[in-house]
Amino acid sequence: MGPAPAGAQHRGTAGEPEVMESALEGTGKEGKKESSKKHTMAGSPVEGLLQPVKLSRAELYKEPTNEELNRLRETESLFHSSLLRLQVEELLKEVKLSEKKKERIDAFLREVNQRIMRVPSTPETEGCFRFLPPAQVTVVGSYLLGTCIRPDINVDVALTMPREILQDKDGLNQRYFRKRALYLAHLAHHLAQDPLFGSVRFSYTNGCHLKPSLLLRPHGKDEHLVTVRLHPCPPPDFFRPCRLLPSKNNVRSAWYRGQSPSGDGGPEPPTPYYNTWVLQDTALESHVQLLSTVLGSASGLKDGVALLKVWLRQRELDKGLGGFSGFLVSMLVAFLVSTRKIHTTMSGYQVLRSILQFLATTDLTVNGISLCFSSDPSLPALADFHQVFPVVFLDSSGRLNLCADVTASTYRQVQHEAQLSMVLLDSRADDGFQLLLMTPKPMIRAFDHILHLRPLSRLQAACHRLKLWPELQDHGGDYVSAALGPLTTLLEQGLGSRLHLLAHSRPPVSEWDISQDPPRHRDSGVLTLGLLLRPEGLTSVLELGPEADQPEAADFRQFWGSRSELRRFQDGAIREAVVWEAASMAQKRLIPHQVVTHLLALHADIPDTCIHYTGGLLDTLIQGLKETSSTGEEALAAAVRCYDDLSRLLWGLEGLPLTVSAVQGAHPVLRYTEVFPPTPVRPAYSFYEHLQERASLLPRPDKPCPAYVEPMTVVCHLEGSGQWPQDAEAIQRVRAAFQLRLAELLTQQHGVQCQATATHTDVLKDGFVFRIRVAYQREPQILRETRSPEGMISLRDTPASLRLERDTRQLPLLTSALHGLQQQHPAFSGVARLAKRWVRAQLLGEKLTDESLDLVAAALFLHPEPFTPPSSPQVGFLRFLFLVSTFDWKNNPLIVNLNNELTVEELVEIRSVFLATRTQLPVMVIITPQDRKSSIWTQDGPSPQILQQLVILAAEALPVLEKQLMDPRGPGDIRTVFRPPLDMYDVLIRLSPRHIPRHRQAVDSPAASFCRGLLSEPGPSSLMPVLGYDPPQLYLAQLREAFGDLALFFYDQHGGEVIGVLWKPTSFQPQPLKASNTKGRMVVSRGGELVMVPNVEAILEDFAILGDGLVQAVEARSERWTV
């Protein structure tokens, strides 16, 4: 990437009296050339890296020109910031149609016009449909307005059918629609023979199955340039508007059911949807006229509409029947212009903002709006429309509801999105543009739980069960859209407080060839519902109903059916209630599944075999060994409770020379992010060797490796005092004395088993092992002190002081902050653990620290934009993969604003410091309020290559997993993305499961493993269990120490059976003879010169020697390398 700072360089060098405007365009060829020359002179800049801008004083402080000032002022008043302005301009450039293409499209349109007019008419015969060329061919829609966006360029063409072929009562019983279809079929038949068209196909207009339209695409290389859609429409004033009011019936029941008119005189049900569809055809031209007068000359408004279309499309809101289409948005703009909320001079960004603001604050399901301002008493009232349509937005005629097909849930989704976007825009976040307009929000990543209904033909039965015959009649038999509204209402009511938002996929608009039959309703795939859950509501297992003697009780019983029971509550009330079976957090999260299955079976006759619920499929990966119902939140809480008890013991300890000033957890368990929570250890003594005098158990060589017990680190700060020595070595000794004393006192006063070393005290409490580290606040300070030659004492960071600072200060702070986060967002634990599990399963766990991954997971909750914080581990994990695969680590720090401590100004400051010091910072930079500069948790890795590998793996895993989860036939093998690719490694070291203590935690958990010396019942606990003994880790430590400069070693600590070894690319290059180069190398003669190369054969044998007993086989894939 050469031209990064091109503008700057260009401006810096050429001192011409330019304006900002010209500089903007000055990034052309000339600028690039110059800057690349500069770069080569200045040394090689890192590819694609932002450099801090350097402008000379003269440049910065020269007199501004008028134009420059104007532009700056405009940016300040019309846009959020100059960056946003530039971004919006770029985006519009990308999506708008170029002039060149427009010319080609225009040419094509002229051709189409001619061909249509040339289609021969058919002779008039009695009782038959007759074709006559259209009375008028007009282009309508976004193309004419200049608001259509790439990549799908559609040109809508209205064909006015001549009056002669229609008859008076055609509005009745779908006659008009059938004639319309025949008209198109005739056209299609003739146009298909024309070589001008690459394809001639049918589709449904906006998904309405009564209204086909004809799609024409040009031939040859222009095939994807444009799609021309032909919509026949009735001649103006053909239908009498009063016949098409929402309260009128135009589909007779008798005709619909195929009976002869019975004449029983019962009132016919109104057919509002049918009427709307007819009306839509009559209003095509008046709409386009309205829009062209409003948008006509205001380029800002057009930009706004284009931006809104992008916004809708990223949210998958604009497609299908009842989608919130670009046309609706244009009409909304027209509405806001008419109410003076938008002015024609506004910029695109301001239009976007105004519309979002309007959507976020206006509920069209209650207060409809109208573009019609006449006070004609013959016009129906808004209330009439509210009775039959969920969302009301009347056009200028006052008779047509533009939002007729939009369901209430779709509108609520739009509203929800608009609210989120407004929050985002108001927060003045730096990358608001990215999140608002460039981030796709597919259903699977936006909603906590997804459910598919399949096959769709079940909905037909559901319609009957829900008694939706009038709706069916109105919809012309389209049971999917007829049932959609009632079904979503039913589920919304049932899910109640658990639900934040329910969204449904809209039936897709399919295309078909003119020789084929049109697709049937049941062929339109599956109906997918997305649930956005409310975490507060998820914890309850109870659905509280009214008191038994209240009249509402009957409704409650009717709604819940057999699940409703009478219960007596503690306050003495006897109420109807529904209780769901769920013991653990994981099960509680899945109560919506129970609700949905129960309600659909009860009210809609949809059996649970037709419901495919995707919500907890990934739970198995973070379930403990013998767990099937819990995802470990309970086990973690138990450990944390035990830690709380311990900290109380420490606080109340008597006889310590100094008092305890703070007890802080510093282990993943204590922030709920340990992948496999610890269980109380109950060692079977016969399994171990005993070291009686030190009250410890030892592993035995003849037995399988004992269970892995990792002590949980707890930092215990002691008060400051003048008694502490001021010398690092002495402090160490005093701390050791405290460790010993602590162990003694805890054993004496509370009878817990303790073991003290120089740096920590291990405490066995209720089967959990804690590692208490005594800390002295000033110790890092003392380690930092260095004395300059002049006797001045200055503070310099040393590795030891940094390490101590990290372990005793930053780690506890992070742990408590994340502990707090878990209390706010119950799904955090699951997400962080799944994320960690995945990274480790990809064998990259060593390079990415626990803390850094926890922070990335925390970022998903603290900065969820454009989503909401995840409420299920599944969606959180998908977003983790998305974040990892798309985040630009090179040019951005990942800021995790824990507890919201950083202000906007501080964030700006952090970003500029980041840019200035980028080269000294690690590849992955994670900033927290406690760590604003150095990114301590990623200091020691990952390396750029490892990060790159992680990004690639995440980018590959995400679509695979999403596809699996969205597959209505079931996900298949959900563990696929957790299995690491092994073909990239040069050597594979296979380990024997006998000595892998965590073997059962493997992704593909073995059915049986070895006995690990644990009892199921509590036994005596006088001896300390074996702590932190994990042979694979010990082996890896040795390998890395011995061969770390020749190779990289990859391993999954959760039961991995294989270590992947990758030779470093440089390690096979012959090295000159040097004493420091000899490690593991040998001298060979290369072209008469003595050089050192790795002694690969001996090293491969060393792999086996060092891991004697653990290593099963060393597989060298020697075809992959040459020495």
Partner 1 sequence: MVARRRKRAAGTSETEILSPPGYSAIPVKFSEKQQSSHYLYIRQHRVREDTKSSWPQKRTLFVLNVPPYCTEECLSRLLSPCGPVQSVELQEKPDLAESPKEPKSRFFYPKPVPGFQVAYVVFQKPGGVSAALALKGPLLVSTESHPVKSGIHKWIRDYADSVPDPEALRVEVDTFMETYDKKIAEEEAKAKEEEGVPDEEGWVKVTRRGRRPVLPRTEAASLRVLEKERRKRARKELLNFYAWQHRETKMEHLAQLRKKFEEDKQRIELMRAQRKFRPY
Residues 986-1025 binding partner 1 (CB under 8 A) are 995
Cβ atoms of residues 934 and 927 within 8 Å: no
* Subset of residues 302 to 331 that bind partner 1, contact rule: CB under 8 A: 310, 313-314
1044 is an interface residue for partner 1 by CB under 8 A: yes
Question: Of 246, 241, 269, which is closest to residue 256 (Cα–Cα)?
Answer: 269
Among residues 155, 210, 437, 1114, the one that binds partner 1 under rule CB under 8 A: 437
Distances (CA, A) of 940 to 558, 835, 923, 931: 62, 20, 10, 15
1078 is an interface residue for partner 1 by CB under 8 A: yes
From 6-14, 128-136, 505-513, 564-572, span contacting partner 1 (CB under 8 A): 6-14
Token pair 């997400």 is found at 831
415 is an interface residue for partner 1 by CB under 8 A: no
CB of 754 to partner 1, least distance (A): 9
CB of 313 to partner 1, least distance (A): 7
Q: How far apart are CA 7 and CA 4, in angstroms?
A: 8
What's the distance, CA 151 to chain centroid?
A: 24
Among residues 755, 815, 964, 1009, the one that binds partner 1 under rule CB under 8 A: 755
The amino acid sitting at 715 is: V
Token pair 């460039």 is found at 438
1098 is an interface residue for partner 1 by CB under 8 A: yes
Cβ atoms of residues 385 and 275 within 8 Å: no
CB of 1045 to partner 1, least distance (A): 9
CB-nearer residue toward partner 1: 920 or 1085: 1085
Binding-site size for partner 1 (CB under 8 A) equals: 111
Cβ atoms of residues 421 and 866 within 8 Å: yes
Beta carbons within 10 angstroms of residue 148's beta carbon: 23
652 is an interface residue for partner 1 by CB under 8 A: no
From 18-26, 613-621, 877-885, 958-966, span contacting partner 1 (CB under 8 A): 18-26
Token pair 């050469």 is found at 2
Among residues 95, 461, 921, 988, the one that binds partner 1 under rule CB under 8 A: 95
From 121-129, 191-199, 497-505, 755-763, span contacting partner 1 (CB under 8 A): 755-763
Give the contacts of 803 (CB within 8 A, at least 6 positions apart). none
Bond from prior residue into 826 cis (ω within 30 degrees of 0): no
Cβ atoms of residues 760 and 799 within 8 Å: no
* Subset of residues 594 to 613 that bind partner 1, contact rule: CB under 8 A: none
CB of 733 to partner 1, least distance (A): 5
Among residues 17, 123, 127, 151, the one that binds partner 1 under rule CB under 8 A: 151
CB-nearer residue toward partner 1: 54 or 169: 54
Beta carbons within 10 angstroms of residue 368's beta carbon: 20
383 is an interface residue for partner 1 by CB under 8 A: no
Query: Which tokens hold the place of 780?
Result: 């890092």
Question: Of 249, 217, 248, which is closest to residue 230 (Cα–Cα)?
Answer: 217
96 is an interface residue for partner 1 by CB under 8 A: no
Cβ atoms of residues 119 and 131 within 8 Å: yes
Among residues 423, 573, 1083, 1113, the one that binds partner 1 under rule CB under 8 A: 1083
CB of 1108 to partner 1, least distance (A): 3
Among residues 15, 64, 496, 1019, the one that binds partner 1 under rule CB under 8 A: 64
CB of 786 to partner 1, least distance (A): 10
* Subset of residues 660 to 699 that bind partner 1, contact rule: CB under 8 A: 691, 694, 696, 698-699
Cβ atoms of residues 902 and 895 within 8 Å: yes
Helix (H), strand (E) at residue 289: helix 272-295
Site string for partner 1, 906-925 (x = CB under 8 A): ---------x----------
Cβ atoms of residues 267 and 379 within 8 Å: no
1094 is an interface residue for partner 1 by CB under 8 A: no
Question: Of 847, 951, 937, which is closest to residue 890 (Cα–Cα)?
Answer: 951
From 75-83, 155-163, 228-236, 386-394, span contacting partner 1 (CB under 8 A): 75-83
CB of 490 to partner 1, least distance (A): 34
529 is an interface residue for partner 1 by CB under 8 A: no
Length of the chain: 1123
3 is an interface residue for partner 1 by CB under 8 A: yes
Among residues 255, 887, 1029, 1068, the one that binds partner 1 under rule CB under 8 A: 1029
Helix (H), strand (E) at residue 527: strand 527-533
Q: How far apart are CA 184 and CA 207, in angstroms?
A: 16
- Return the SS3 of 902: coil
CB-nearer residue toward partner 1: 44 or 1085: 1085
Cβ atoms of residues 943 and 910 within 8 Å: no
The amino acid sitting at 54 is: K
CB of 214 to partner 1, least distance (A): 26
5 is an interface residue for partner 1 by CB under 8 A: yes
72 is an interface residue for partner 1 by CB under 8 A: yes
29 is an interface residue for partner 1 by CB under 8 A: no
60 is an interface residue for partner 1 by CB under 8 A: yes
CB of 1024 to partner 1, least distance (A): 8
Give the contacts of 412 (CB within 8 A, at least 6 positions apart). 365, 501, 502
The amino acid sitting at 1086 is: R
Give the contacts of 833 (CB within 8 A, at least 6 positions apart). 622, 631, 632, 673, 674, 675, 873
CB-nearer residue toward partner 1: 196 or 438: 438
Question: Of 840, 875, 851, which is closest to residue 861 (Cα–Cα)?
Answer: 875
From 92-100, 226-234, 393-401, 544-552, span contacting partner 1 (CB under 8 A): 92-100
1107 is an interface residue for partner 1 by CB under 8 A: yes
From 153-161, 186-194, 320-328, 1105-1113, span contacting partner 1 (CB under 8 A): 1105-1113
CB of 668 to partner 1, least distance (A): 23
* Subset of residues 439 to 478 that bind partner 1, contact rule: CB under 8 A: 440
Distances (CA, A) of 896 to 671, 853, 855, 878: 16, 12, 7, 19
Give the contacts of 171 (CB within 8 A, at least 6 positions apart). 239, 243, 244, 250, 278
883 is an interface residue for partner 1 by CB under 8 A: no
From 3-11, 481-489, 604-612, 677-685, span contacting partner 1 (CB under 8 A): 3-11
Among residues 237, 969, 1076, 1088, the one that binds partner 1 under rule CB under 8 A: 1076
Distances (CA, A) of 969 to 448, 610, 824, 958: 19, 10, 35, 19
Site string for partner 1, 708-747 (x = CB under 8 A): -----------------x-x-xx-xxx-xx--x--x----
Distances (CA, A) of 527 to 481, 608, 609, 613, 968: 10, 14, 14, 12, 9
CB of 791 to partner 1, least distance (A): 6
- Return the SS3 of 586: helix
Among residues 128, 383, 792, 1008, the one that binds partner 1 under rule CB under 8 A: 792
Distances (CA, A) of 665 to 89, 639, 648, 669: 50, 11, 13, 9
* Subset of residues 268 to 297 that bind partner 1, contact rule: CB under 8 A: none
CB of 168 to partner 1, least distance (A): 47
Task: Give CA torsion, residues 1045, 1049, 1053, 1056, to 10 deg.
Answer: -160
CB of 942 to partner 1, least distance (A): 21
Among residues 488, 687, 1080, 1114, the one that binds partner 1 under rule CB under 8 A: 1080
Among residues 428, 520, 963, 1079, the one that binds partner 1 under rule CB under 8 A: 1079
CB-nearer residue toward partner 1: 12 or 1055: 12
What's the distance, CA 889 to chain centroid?
A: 18
